Amino acid sequence: MKTYAISAILVFTMIGFNAQAQRSKKGFTSLFDGKTTKGWHSYGKTAVGKGWKVENGAIHLDPKSKQKDDGDLITDKEYANFHLKIDWKVAPKSNSGILFHVNENPEKYHQTYSTGPEMQVIDNDGHPDGKIIKHRAGDLYDLVKSSSEPVKPVGQWNTAEIISNKGKLEFILNGVKTVSTTQFDENWKALIAGSKFAKWEGFGAFTKGKIALQDHGDEVWFRNIMIKEL
């Protein structure tokens, strides 16, 4: 029995070691442990708003539980060059987003979207914003229209990737590249100048910032949140 127990321990130890080695090899770090909101807080606050819940291995924004001032969920840590992977799904008629390079300075910038560009998360057919060009799922919100729309039906999980590396920006949705552009150059400035953010001082200007999950007041889920710093 002792020999069997020792062998079993060794087997499970090796499985755990191999899994950890595989994760390290890929270079991705988990931003969500599947059980808690550790590593996150609501924008401009120290805690997480009541509407953000962890259920069945996902972060769920529950409109029935949220308070007026819950706000967007953001990482404790800032990131400059990174490859982010995240699964999302929305309820019918819902709208949300994944923002990045967010400068958390609530006295100067009242919302995450005051500074952070956004990958749109939305029910294209059910939410009014989905009828607007550059406001559909996979778009670089109000800046660049998706080259295609590989989004899955409402209620199904989508896998999104955001890669920001030394100014080169790419969005991938369900394995399909939807956006490819360059940040911080003259073209980037022109994109902003032609958008709703034209007069927003600080928007899209930061090369380092926090990752945010948007509280748009609608029901949305996120899971399998991983990041690799580049």
Output the 3-class SS for 199-223: CCCCCCCCCCEEEEECCCCCCEEEE
Helix or strand holding residue 19 (H, E): helix 2-26
**CATH value of 31-229 in 3.30.1330.20, 2.60.120.560, 2.10.50.10, 1.10.1740.10:** 2.60.120.560
pLDDT band of residue 6 (cuts 50, 70, 90) is very low
Tell me the C-alpha distance between 101 and 81, whole Å.
10
pLDDT digits 0-9 by tens, 142-154: 999 999 999 999 9
pLDDT digits 0-9 by tens, 40-67: 999 999 999 999 999 999 999 999 998 8
- Percentage of residues in the chain having pLDDT higher than 70: 89
Domain boundaries, the chain: 1-28, 31-229
Tell me the C-alpha distance between 17 and 163, whole Å.
28
pLDDT digits 0-9 by tens, 63-122: 999 887 789 999 999 999 999 999 999 999 999 999 999 999 999 999 999 999 999 999
pLDDT of residue 11: 41
pLDDT of residue 22: 46
